[in-house]
Amino acid sequence: MSTRQRGVITFLVMLVVAVVGCVLLPFIVMPGAGVAVALPIIEVPGEVVVSGGLFGVDLTNTIIGTILVDILLVLFVFFAWRASKGWTNEVPGRFQALVEMLFGGVFRDFMKGIGGPRLHSTPLLWPLVATMFIFLLFGNLMKLVPGVETVGTVHCSHVGSIGYPAQSAGGNLYTLYVDEPLNSGIRQTEATEEACHSFFNEHEFTAFAVESPEEIQPQLEEAQAELAEVEEDLNALVAAAGGEEALTEDQLHELELLYEEKAAAERAVERQTLRLESAEAIPELEEQIEDVEAHIAALEAPAEAEGDHGAEGEHADETVLIELGLAEAGPTEEEIAAEVSALQAEHDVLVAELNMARTQMIYPTAPLAFTPDQMESGAMPFLFHVTPWVRGPATDLSVALMLALLAIIVVQIYGVWALGPAYFEKFINISALGNLGKKPLGLVDFVVGLFEIISEIGKIVSLAFRLFGNLFAGGVALIALTFLVALLVPMVMYTLEIIIGTVQALVFAVLTLVFAVQAMEGHHGDEDHEHAEEH
């Protein structure tokens, strides 16, 4: 086989893979199964997974991600220590050799070239920068693991957020139902959110059955009777106490419960009313659709049979033309085409109304109108989204900011440890003020020291936003590519994210080391020169 033939075969294989992975699967197969890629909610702060779940504080997915990274870090160190027998094993195994090569060799030698002797002579400096690097490396790469930032709690979308219908995946598992590619979702309103919450809080994802008006009417009457009973109990309670102002604490609590029961009963009446109206409207809508379809067929069929050779006004059934008021006018081909177009628009409107009526029969108060095929798929026509259980720690600005604060605080501690109180001369140069008589330009040194305070604050901002910006932007880019193409192309972004995640972890650790070493360097001022002259 020649080189050209091998090249042609390779090209054809690549073409087939591209067509299957970038066209067939994301644009045909996945939408047909209702599992096309949904556009997730993009939030800068961590999303609450359990309200008050962390000792009364909201437990967010970034906190969960941070805890998982901490556990991974501890396990990594434990297994490395165990494999090395407390770092005494002179003949390392594979895992120990890998750890020593990456962290004891490559990483340590690289950091030693930056920090010099201070890297190991300064207490806890090497463990600090190594821990920061490993923590951020695990956290940055963790968000690329399947399930992270994609698997979580399916719930009603919040007001202003986009949402999709949901479908059961078996048991208590649900997925978003997306049956068309590049579907960016529907914006949730206050009314649709309330409808979603009230329906599923009270029905626990149980749909109503398809029933006739005669079967729904008793259910409506029963709901109305329950509402009347609750209203009677409520009025009796208030009347017995002589008004709401005279109610005791226990009676107020009972009144609150009755108001909740009344609201639930009113919603039940509303749902059964919608179901009854839908059941009564469905036969009439079906009949209207059949009439419109018959008119369209009668107008189009003769024209299809005769082509363009028939006389004007002879391309449609006489009865249909009379019904449409076109018999006496002798309609032209253009007039018949216009009438067909108008009938088709009317047909589309009637079909939409029929789909909404059928949807309201099963899911009353639902904001979406489903087709029969969509209803058969088991999808629920309310707006949902997924709150991931786990999210990369550094994609939350608060986590990046706290790491930056920790780094700069430790830098100040090392500066004081190495230089003592003289370290603060870097910020407030008292010596320069005391030597103004000999060197008036020392005032410049004092002003520069004040700018150093701003510089230290700037380091916090720089560290935090560099880390957060790169990781958050990378996640958004990965989301966008996955939404647009779904397969293959996002794999390139995965490779870039591995590089970016590793580099950002390294940059944060390196900058922390550089700032600490700089803080421990002496700041030679005029007093040092005077002291040297005396000697």
Confidence grade of residue 215 (pLDDT, cut at 50, 70, 90): very high
Q: Is the pTM of this model over 0.95?
A: no
The answer to whether position 469 is within a domain reads: yes
Answer for the pair 452, 426: CB distance below 8 angstroms, yes or no: yes
Q: Which of 89-93, 176-180, 304-308, 410-414 has the lowest mean pLDDT?
A: 304-308
Residues 110 and 219 in one domain: no
Residues 358 and 395 in one domain: no
Residues 61 and 109 in one domain: yes
Answer for the pair 436, 442: CB distance below 8 angstroms, yes or no: yes
pLDDT, residue 534, reads 42
The answer to whether position 490 is within a domain reads: yes
Q: Choose one of 362, 377, 410: the last residue of a domain.
A: 362
Query: Which amino acid does the sequence have at 410?
Result: V
Residues 356 and 217 in one domain: yes
The answer to whether position 186 is within a domain reads: no
Give me the mean pLDDT over the 81-107 stretch. Answer: 82
Q: Choose one of 321, 341, 362: the last residue of a domain.
A: 362
The answer to whether position 268 is within a domain reads: yes
Residues 122 and 246 in one domain: no
Residues 131 and 215 in one domain: no
pLDDT, residue 529, reads 42
pLDDT, residue 156, reads 92
Both tokens of 439, joined, read 């060197």
In Å, how far from its chain's centre is CA 370?
25
Both tokens of 352, joined, read 């939409």
Residues 217 and 127 in one domain: no
Residue-number span of the structural domain to which 247 is assigned: 208-362
Beta bridge partners of 384: 156, 164
Both tokens of 429, joined, read 């140069």
The answer to whether position 145 is within a domain reads: yes
pLDDT, residue 535, reads 38
The answer to whether position 395 is within a domain reads: yes
Proportion of the chain above pLDDT 70, given as a percent = 89
Taking 70 as the threshold, does the pLDDT of residue 525 lie above it? Answer: no
Quote the number of domains for the chain: 2
The answer to whether position 41 is within a domain reads: no
Residues 272 and 140 in one domain: no
pLDDT, residue 331, reads 64
Both tokens of 40, joined, read 């997730």
Contacts of 161 (CB under 8 A, 6+ apart): 41, 187, 188, 385
Residues 213 and 259 in one domain: yes
Residues 215 and 351 in one domain: yes
The answer to whether position 384 is within a domain reads: no
Taking 60 as the threshold, does the pLDDT of residue 403 lie above it? Answer: yes
Model confidence pLDDT, tens digit, residues 103-140? 777 788 888 888 888 888 889 999 899 999 999 999 99
User: For residues 89 and 442, what is the distance between their CA atoms, to the nearest angstrom?
Assistant: 58
Residues 317 and 405 in one domain: no
Residues 272 and 315 in one domain: yes
Model confidence pLDDT, tens digit, residues 256-294? 899 999 999 999 999 999 999 999 999 999 999 999 998
Q: Which of 26-35, 369-378, 448-457, 459-468 has the lowest mean pLDDT?
A: 448-457
92 torsion bin: left (phi>0), alpha (psi -120 to 50), beta (else): beta
